[in-house]
Structures are given as structure tokens and as C-alpha cells.
């Protein structure tokens, strides 16, 4: 009886001591939060208000250190638009920023491939959950490759080597973006584009001076981060 009683009285201490001695204590560790992706690619489509033509662009970039509440990014942007008048009566001053001094009037059929290539700096800040405001600037080069036929064949512009020019290009942009998740965003906004003066040479050797060339683009696009 004494042995049995002693055994019973010892059970609580065994039950209390047993788990800590027989099995190691398990500690739950929360998973590490995944940092936001640094790199991104993007694509957009839009409309040039002055030229009245479509414009498309591709981007690749990287986020850099934050500036306070602002996220900073650098990205390369390559755009493309085919400017054309399709043989209509041409207002050269409005469509191609040519003045009356150039004396090219009447029916004309002109096409110009417009390809700006820029390095851009962007700031982005959250307004509400998933909704952000962005703004930035960029600079680079614009390639203009023109072909045109006027009433006077001697003043045509063709592929003889005088039809393509490169000139300084700059832009400023702003808009809103919406994050569906950390990897996918939709954005929409506007860009002001400035193209420096350049000239084209016709088959007859005449110079076409293109001055004060700028435009406004409205666009929508997507960005994928990785």
C-alpha cells in the first residue's frame, strides 16, 4: 500500500517534468516576407494628340532605393509611331511643323517612322491601397525615317540616304497606376514629348527644316515585375 501510494503521488511530477525532458520545445517561425521585385518590363499603347496617330512603347527598368515615401525607378523606353497623311490635302505646318517658307503645298503622300529611345527617371507614391501616382522625365534620341511624294517629283523624299535623321528627344510624364498584385500593374497617363529641330533633304537637294516639334501622348499600359 505504501508503495502504491508513493507511486500515485509521484505521477504529477512525472507528468509535469516529462514533456519538457522527453520532447524538445517546438517554436513556430513566421515565413520571411517576400521583398518586392526590383526589375520590371512594360508595354503601352496610346494616341498622339497633334499628329493624330497611334503610338506604342516597350520598357525595361529597375527600382532603386526609395526617396522617403517615393519609389524610384530607372527604365529604358523604346517607342514607335507611323506618322502619315495618306495622300490627303496636307497641312504641313500642323502635321509636320513645316512653315510656309518651305513652300511644300498641295497633294502629298508622306509617311514618317518616329522612334524615340529614352532613359527615364520615375517617382511613384501610393495614394490608397494599390493605387499610385507616378511622374518622371526622360531624355534620349528620336529617329525619324521619312518617305514622301509631293506634286513635284523632284521634291520627293526617298530611301536615297537623306530620309533618316536622329535628333535630341525629351519627355515628361505623369499618371496613375493600379497594382493587382506585387507583380502586375496597370497604368494610364500622359506624356509631353519634345523633338529638337532637324532637317530632311529632298531628291532635288532642297532642305525641309522641321522646327518646334512637340506633341502630347495619352496612353495606357501594363508592367510586370520580376
pLDDT in tens, 118-146: 999 999 999 999 999 999 999 999 998 87
Structural domain contains residue 20: no
Structural domain contains residue 102: yes
Q: pLDDT at residue 214 above 70?
A: yes
Between 184 and 149, name the one with better pLDDT. Answer: 184
User: How many domains, in total, are found in the chain?
Assistant: 1
Q: pLDDT at residue 5 above 60?
A: no
Q: What 3-state DSSP class applies to 48?
A: strand
Q: pLDDT at residue 112 above 90?
A: no
Beta bridge partners of 188: 176, 220
Q: pLDDT at residue 50 above 90?
A: no
Give Cα 67 to chain centroid, integer Å: 20
| 211 pLDDT tier (thresholds 50, 70, 90) | confident
Structural domain contains residue 27: no
How far apart CA 226 and CA 175 sit, in angstroms, is 22
How far apart CA 215 and CA 20 sit, in angstroms, is 75
What pLDDT is recorded for position 123? 98
Structural domain contains residue 150: yes
How far apart CA 156 and CA 108 sit, in angstroms, is 9
Q: Which of 49-53, 63-67, 169-173, 180-184 has the lowest mean pLDDT?
A: 49-53
Q: Are 178 and 146 in contact (CB under 8 A)?
A: no
State the residue range of the domain holding 117: 39-225
How far apart CA 147 and CA 160 sit, in angstroms, is 10
How far apart CA 203 and CA 212 sit, in angstroms, is 24
Q: Are 213 and 168 in contact (CB under 8 A)?
A: no
> Which residues have a Cβ under 8 Å from the Cβ of 160 and sit 6 or more positions away?
203
Structural domain contains residue 2: no
Write the CATH number for 146: 2.40.160.20
How far apart CA 196 and CA 213 sit, in angstroms, is 7
Q: Are 83 and 51 in contact (CB under 8 A)?
A: yes
Q: What 3-state DSSP class applies to 206?
A: coil
Pairing assessment for the beta strands 164-181 and 207-210 based on DSSP bridges: unpaired
Helix, strand, coil percentages, rounded to 5, for the chain? 15, 60, 25
Proportion of the chain above pLDDT 70, given as a percent: 63
pTM of the model: 0.75
Q: pLDDT at residue 31 above 90?
A: no
Structural domain contains residue 13: no
How far apart CA 152 and CA 197 sit, in angstroms, is 25
DSSP state of 183: T
Structural domain contains residue 8: no
Structural domain contains residue 12: no
| 35 pLDDT tier (thresholds 50, 70, 90) | low
Amino acid at each position: 500500500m505504501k508503495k502504491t501510494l508513493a507511486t500515485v503521488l509521484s505521477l504529477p511530477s512525472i507528468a509535469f517534468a516529462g514533456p519538457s525532458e522527453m520532447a524538445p520545445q517546438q517554436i513556430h517561425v513566421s515565413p520571411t516576407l517576400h521583398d518586392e521585385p526590383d526589375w520590371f518590363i512594360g508595354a503601352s499603347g496610346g494616341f498622339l494628340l497633334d499628329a493624330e496617330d497611334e503610338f506604342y512603347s516597350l520598357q525595361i527598368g529597375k527600382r532603386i532605393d526609395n526617396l522617403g515615401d517615393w519609389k524610384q525607378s530607372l527604365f529604358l523606353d523604346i517607342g514607335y509611331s507611323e506618322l502619315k497623311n495618306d495622300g490627303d490635302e496636307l497641312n504641313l505646318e500642323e502635321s509636320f511643323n513645316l512653315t510656309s517658307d518651305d513652300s511644300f503645298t498641295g497633294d502629298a503622300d508622306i509617311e514618317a517612322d518616329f522612334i524615340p529611345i529614352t532613359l527615364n527617371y520615375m517617382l511613384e507614391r501610393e495614394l490608397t491601397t494599390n493605387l499610385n501616382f507616378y511622374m518622371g522625365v526622360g531624355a534620349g534620341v528620336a529617329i525619324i525615317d521619312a518617305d514622301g511624294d509631293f506634286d513635284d517629283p523632284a521634291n520627293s523624299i526617298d530611301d536615297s540616304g537623306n530620309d533618316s535623321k536622329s535628333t535630341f528627344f525629351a519627355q515628361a510624364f505623369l499618371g496613375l497606376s493600379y497594382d493587382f498584385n506585387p507583380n502586375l500593374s496597370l497604368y494610364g497617363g500622359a506624356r509631353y514629348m519634345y523633338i529638337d529641330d532637324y532637317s530632311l533633304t529632298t531628291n532635288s537637294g532642297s532642305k525641309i527644316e522641321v522646327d518646334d516639334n512637340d506633341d502630347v501622348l495619352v496612353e495606357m499600359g501594363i508592367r510586370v515585375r520580376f
